[in-house]
Structure 1
Amino acid sequence: MQTLISIADFIRWGASRFSEAGLFFGHGTDNALDEAAALVLGALHLPPDLPASWFGSRLTAPERQRVLDLIQRRIDERRPLPYLLGEAWFAGMRFHVNEQVLIPRSPIAELIEAGFAPWLEPSPAPQILDLCCGSGCIGIAAAAYLPESRVDLVDISADVLQVAEQNIAEYGLQERVTSYPSDLFEALPDNRYDLIVSNPPYVGLAEMEELPHEYRHEPVLALQANENGLEIVQRILKQAKRYLTPRGILIVEVGNSARLLVDRYPQMPFVWLDFERGGEGVFLLSAADLAE
């Protein structure tokens, strides 16, 4: 390993080892080279948009050992990289994660970066609800990109909300972001929201059994929803209209369960959103759509 000196050296070598090992990528990257870059930069506490001029920088002996150890663990354990690093990047922001929470990777990040335009009605202080919040990445990023907004985070798991609270504090958003332990809407105050957004569990039993090994490290509670994957989504559809303002909107990610959802609700006017960076299975409905 004495020939591995620079950041670029370790990224190249790591990518080769990952390809050789046949790893699966899907927790922030989709190929061996990007995964190796994320690992090396994360291990060195450097940002993912590091200037190219830095890639020739030499690693110290402790840094080399840390990178090598992480590369070997990624191969041996098939554990998703964000869990090894304890962090994930979402909408250009760093979030603390552990194996209690789903790893942030939703295409909804694109909507957040655009301020949910053109869908969210202009408002001096939009009220936003993030259902099944996990690490809080969606709601916290929304609060950061919409600085006048107030955001509520909801999750059924107290352990998960501890991670979300850590991320709220990380960005100093305690005055505008509040977390609630609740089974969807059950323990919420009687609030009305301009936007309800959710990345709920939506994986069915058959799909769950076919997931690559890397996904087995994520909490089942955050992935699987009954046999067909629609239980939580159906509850959201049934209850959301009570919590939306008259011009409010509902945005929900359902992934591969999209076709089954359309078959189940053939009259529902789902708007399926497109994403420049890839991703699918995210629908939008207005309060008026749900009322009908």
Structure 2
Amino acid sequence: MMINYSCINRLRTLRDIIRYTTTIFNKSGIFFGHGSDNAYDEAVYLILHSLNLTADNLDIFLDSNITENEIRKILHLISKRVDLRIPVSYLTEESLLQGYKFYINKNAIIPRSPISEIIQNCIYPWVKDPESITSILDLCTGSGCLAILSALSFQRSIVTATDISEKALKIAEKNINYYNLQDRIKIINSNLFDDIPISQYDIIICNPPYVNTQSLNNLPEEYLHEPIIALDGGEDGMSIIKNIKKVKIFLKREGILVLEIGNEYNNFIKHFQNINPTWITTANTENSIMLLHKEQIP
């Protein structure tokens, strides 16, 4: 869908450009799944970011005039979103999760894990005293968002954030520095547990690659902009998950594992018939995140 730049003279106000962008997004068939679930919210976010405005300013500036250069910039972003199917977060290099802002680029998946909701609630009721948590391991940290949320929720904890991708860890480091948590979050380049010094943690969090091959081949174009290594879970989505059995060595006696498996519930059950985890329901997921106590791990 080619953007019609001849419409510039008819787009005068912020209200005009939001209406226009929402219409374009609705007609284009783009997929929403990286922070918003509808055309209007995505249009507002993209436009306000382009204008260096916040959502709090929206009502105030709705009828303000926009300059031609501002409109051209917005139309260019719309074109990239629609024609190239680039997720908005990659266009703005910013993602919001649980009210927190994270820097992001194409070297890491866009922050969206529902584990973030559980962390925000301090993993209650399974963790009864957040101040008792002093050590957390975040496997497959990507942008570092879950490690950062963990450090903010469990304020006495030291967090270790690991990933196989050095490029992703550079993004994580930038986000960690943004929140001034470099003294509390340690970064390690490691393929799961391979290069992590033996230590024991109160909590281990893991959002691994888990998309099965058939699903991977049918993903909307937007997801194809994300690193394949962060999505690909092999034929049945379990190729990485099957290798995290070492987790028991790294957990304290009362330690817990919080593991995300996305839509691979049936495949997980096939592989781990002897495990009976607690399935945690979030606002938008069910049977996607499990909690295991150390003694439940074979």
Relative to the length of structure 1, the TM-score reads 0.93
Structure 1 residue 160: deviation in Å?
1.1
Give 2:181's match in structure 1, choosing from 165, 168, 173: 173
Question: 1:7-156 residue pairs with structure 2 within 5 A?
Answer: 7-48=14-55, 50=57, 52-122=59-129, 123-156=131-164
CA distance in 2, matches of 1:119, 1:9: 49
Q: Is residue 133–residue 202 contact of structure 2 (8 Å, CA) maintained in 1? A: no
Q: CA RMSD in A?
A: 1.7
Partner of 2:257: helix, strand, or coil?
strand
| Distance in 2, Cα, partners of 1:15 & 1:98 | 24
Q: Write the deviation string for residues 178-203 of structure 1: whole angstroms up to 9, x where unpaired.
A: 10000111111222111111111001
Q: Structure 1's 62 and 25: CA in aligned 2 closer, same or farther, altered over 3 A?
A: same
Contact 1:120 1:195 in 2 (8 A): no
Q: How far is 1:43 from its partner?
A: 1.7
Corresponding position of 1:197: 205
Aligned residue in 2 for 1:288:
295
CA deviation after TM superposition for structure 1 residue 51, in Å: 5.8
Q: CA deviation at 1:3?
A: 3.4
Give the distance between the partners of 2:126 and 2:58, measured in 1 at CA: 34
1:162 aligns with 2:162: no
- 1:146–1:11: structure 2 CA closer, same or farther, 3 Å change rule? farther
Determine the C-alpha separation between the residues in 2 that align with 1:128 and 1:272: 20
Asked whether the 8 Å contact 1:120–1:194 carries over to 2, the reply is: no
Change (3 A) 1:264 1:58: same
In structure 2, what residue type is equivalent to 1:106? S
| Length, aligned pairs only | 289
Partner of 1:268: 275
Residues of 2 paired with 1:248 and 1:207: CA distance? Answer: 33
CA distance in 2, matches of 1:135, 1:5: 37
Deviation at residue 157 of structure 1 after TM alignment:
1.1
The answer (yes or no) to whether the contact 1:78–1:213 under 8 Å persists in 2 is: yes
Separation of aligned partners in 2, 1:192 and 1:163:
26
Deviations 1:72-130 (A, max 9, x none): 11011111111111111112111111111011111112112212222224244421111
Q: Go from structure 1 to structure 2 and tell me whether the alpha carbon gap of 1:270 and 1:125 turns closer, same or farther (over 3 Å shift).
A: closer
**CA shift in 2, pair 1:224/1:53, >3 Å:** same
Match of 1:225 in 2: 233
1:164–1:187 Cα change, 3 Å: same
Residue 216 (structure 1) aligned with residue 224 (structure 2): yes
**Matches of 2:293 and 2:16 in 1, distance apart?**
50
2:161 maps to amino acid? L
Contact 2:160 2:187 in 1 (8 A): yes
Stretch of structure 1 that moved more, 58-67 or 167-176: 58-67
Q: Distance in 2 between matches of 1:48 and 1:241?
A: 44
Note the alpha carbon deviations across 1:191-232, whole angstroms, 9 max, x for none: 211111111100111111011111111111000022111011
Q: Which residue of 1 aligns with 2:11?
A: 4
Distance in 1 of aligned mates of 2:134 and 2:296: 20
Q: Give 3-state SS (helix, strand or coil) of 1:231's partner.
A: coil
Residue pair 1:120, 1:249 contacting (<8 A) in 2 also: no
Structure-2 change in CA distance of 1:49 and 1:269 (3 Å)? farther
Kindly name which structure, 1 or 2, has the bigger radius of gyration based on alpha carbons.
2
- Secondary structure at 1:154's aligned position in 2? strand
**Number of the residue aligned with 2:4:** none
Of 138-147 and 120-129, deviating more is 120-129
C-alpha change, 1:33 and 1:188, in structure 2 (3 Å) is same
Note closer, same or farther for the CA distance 1:264–1:45 as it changes in structure 2 (3 Å cut).
same
Deviates more, 1:58-67 or 1:212-221: 58-67
Shift of 1:54: 4.3
The C-alpha deviation readout for 1:146-178, integer Å capped at 9, x for no partner, is: 222211100011111111111111111110011
Q: Give the corresponding residue for 2:5.
A: none
TM-score scaled by length of structure 2: 0.91
What residue ranges of structure 1 are gaps of 5+ in the alignment?
A: none
| Correspondence 1:241-256 to 2 at 5 A | 241-256=248-263
Instruction: Mark the runs of 5 or more structure 2 residues left unpaired by the alignment.
Output: 1-7
Is the partner of 2:204 in helix, strand or coil?
strand
Q: Which segment drifts farther, 98-107 or 41-50? A: 41-50
